[in-house]
Chains A and B, each alone.
Chain A
Amino acid sequence: AQSVTQLGSHVSVSEGALVLLRCNYSSSVPPYLFWYVQYPNQGLQLLLKYTTGATLVKGINGFEAEFKKSETSFHLTKPSAHMSDAAEYFCAVIQGAQKLVFGQGTRLTINP
């Protein structure tokens, strides 16, 4: 069954620094991968997704992710962190036709 593993339950960066959140997947078929963000007391918002085609995927709020089959990775990056980026981030993969399976999440803290 498809699954994802997020490396690092908590990441802390300075404002203006590079954000890198790591996600590795396990899948016997080409995976469909997603990154979601959750702000406190909110639902989840889709940042970006990879289905097929271009391996560098651009999302909202300046985030992007690169699908690397050789490394089974789908890491999320942003060149310059803003205070408003502080949130919980979830990587997810489709299992079967309709089930979205999430990683354990990474809490991003931004230091002023």
Chain B
Amino acid sequence: DTEVTQTPKHLVMGMTNKKSLKCEQHMGHRAMYWYKQKAKKPPELMFVYSYEKLSINESVPSRFSPECPNSSLLNLHLHALQPEDSALYLCASSVAGVLDLGNTFGSGTRLTVV
């Protein structure tokens, strides 16, 4: 298995909703990442988990809450989002750090906040 799987592929949520994005990989990678990508822009790093511990938080607002329950799973919990949070959310993984092979990316969750 050489894939990073993200669910759901599309999500529409209201500003008062609570939802979660899920990411799963079975490549034995020990680093997992969340990126946010706005239309016609490059991905921007949000969070990095290394060996299930949060190692980087790029000053992301607390309405985004990451969770890494085990080495294969990464969640992003969403609460009280704003319309400007609408974007493509990409999950990625790598062997241990990004130096090794570069990130392997999932296909993303396209989030629309209404």
Tell me if A42 is interfacial: C-beta within 8 Å of chain B.
Answer: yes
By a CB distance below 8 angstroms, the chain B residues around A99 are: 45, 48, 56, 98
Residue of A36, A97, A100 ringed by the most chain B CB atoms within 10 A: A100
| Contact assessment for A49 and B105 in the assembled complex, using a CB-CB cutoff below 8 Å | no
Bound Cα distance from A45 to B105, whole angstroms: 7
Bound Cα distance from A102 to B38, whole angstroms: 13
Bound Cα distance from A99 to B45, whole angstroms: 7
Segment 15-72 of B: residues with Cβ below 8 Å from A: 31, 40-43, 45, 48, 50, 55-56
By a CB distance below 8 angstroms, the chain A residues around B98 are: 94, 97-100
Number of A-B residue pairs at CB separation under 8 A: 61
Tell me if A56 is interfacial: C-beta within 8 Å of chain B.
Answer: no
Bound Cα distance from A36 to B108, whole angstroms: 15
How many chain-B residues does the 8 Å CB contact rule pick out? 26
| Contact assessment for B102 and A46 in the assembled complex, using a CB-CB cutoff below 8 Å | yes
| Contact assessment for A103 and B42 in the assembled complex, using a CB-CB cutoff below 8 Å | yes
Residue of A32, A36, A98, A104 ringed by the most chain B CB atoms within 10 A: A98
Residue of A43, A45, A51, A102 ringed by the most chain B CB atoms within 10 A: A43
> Given the known A-B contacts A94-B99, A97-B99, are A43 and B42 also in contact in the complex, defined by CB atoms under 8 Å?
no
> Given the known A-B contacts A90-B42, A98-B97, are A43 and B105 also in contact in the complex, defined by CB atoms under 8 Å?
yes
Bound Cα distance from A80 to B100, whole angstroms: 30
| Contact assessment for A43 and B108 in the assembled complex, using a CB-CB cutoff below 8 Å | yes
By a CB distance below 8 angstroms, the chain A residues around B75 are: none
Bound Cα distance from A44 to B60, whole angstroms: 22
Nearest A-chain residue to B107, judged by Cβ: A43
> Given the known A-B contacts A98-B55, A102-B42, A104-B41, are A44 and B99 also in contact in the complex, defined by CB atoms under 8 Å?
no
Tell me if B7 is interfacial: C-beta within 8 Å of chain A.
Answer: no
> Given the known A-B contacts A44-B90, A102-B43, A103-B42, are A51 and B99 also in contact in the complex, defined by CB atoms under 8 Å?
yes
Chain B residues at the A interface, C-beta cutoff of 8 Å: 4, 6, 31, 40-43, 45, 48, 50, 55-56, 90, 92, 97-99, 101-108, 110
Chain A residues at the B interface, C-beta cutoff of 8 Å: 32, 34, 36, 41-46, 49, 51, 90, 94, 97-105
Q: What 10 pairs across the A-B complex have the smallest Cβ distances?
A: A102-B42, A43-B105, A44-B105, A46-B102, A43-B107, A98-B97, A98-B48, A34-B102, A43-B106, A98-B98
